[in-house]
Amino acid sequence: MDSFSSPSPGSSQQMSAQELKNKLQSQLALEYAQQFLETVRGKCFEKCITKPGSSLSGSESSCISRCVDRYIEATGIISKTLFGGSQH
């Protein structure tokens, strides 16, 4: 395995492979999360905000909360059906 020097703060970059991998994985995880949130927003707006009022009602708020939970659960069901085990 290669040996890389770790960067000291402020030094010009020489990132280790592991650091690079970690950084890439963090970035990817963030992207996936953003994408997921975008989808959930769309679905729950559709389901819960049927007639937009001048403020979010209590029933709309609780609908949204349930909707998010259900969508996460649905993702788990699909994931498990396709790939088995428990994915997150």
Partner 1 sequence: MDFSKLDSSEMQQFFSQEQQLAMVNEMVSKLTDACWDKCITGTPGNKFSSSESACLSNCAQRYIEMSVLIMKKFQSMQ
What is the binding site for partner 1 (CB under 8 A)?
1-2, 4, 13-15, 17, 20-21, 24-25, 28, 32, 35-36, 39, 43-44, 47-48, 63, 66-67, 69-71, 73-75, 77-79, 81-83, 87
The two structure tokens encoding residue 55: 């403020």
User: How far is the C-alpha of 68 from the C-alpha of 39, rounded, in Å?
Assistant: 10
Shortest separation between residue 82's beta carbon and partner 1, angstroms:
6
The two structure tokens encoding residue 79: 């994931």
Shortest separation between residue 59's beta carbon and partner 1, angstroms:
9
Radius of gyration of the chain (CA): 21
CB closer to partner 1, 56 vs 74? 74
User: How far is the C-alpha of 31 from the C-alpha of 20, rounded, in Å?
Assistant: 17
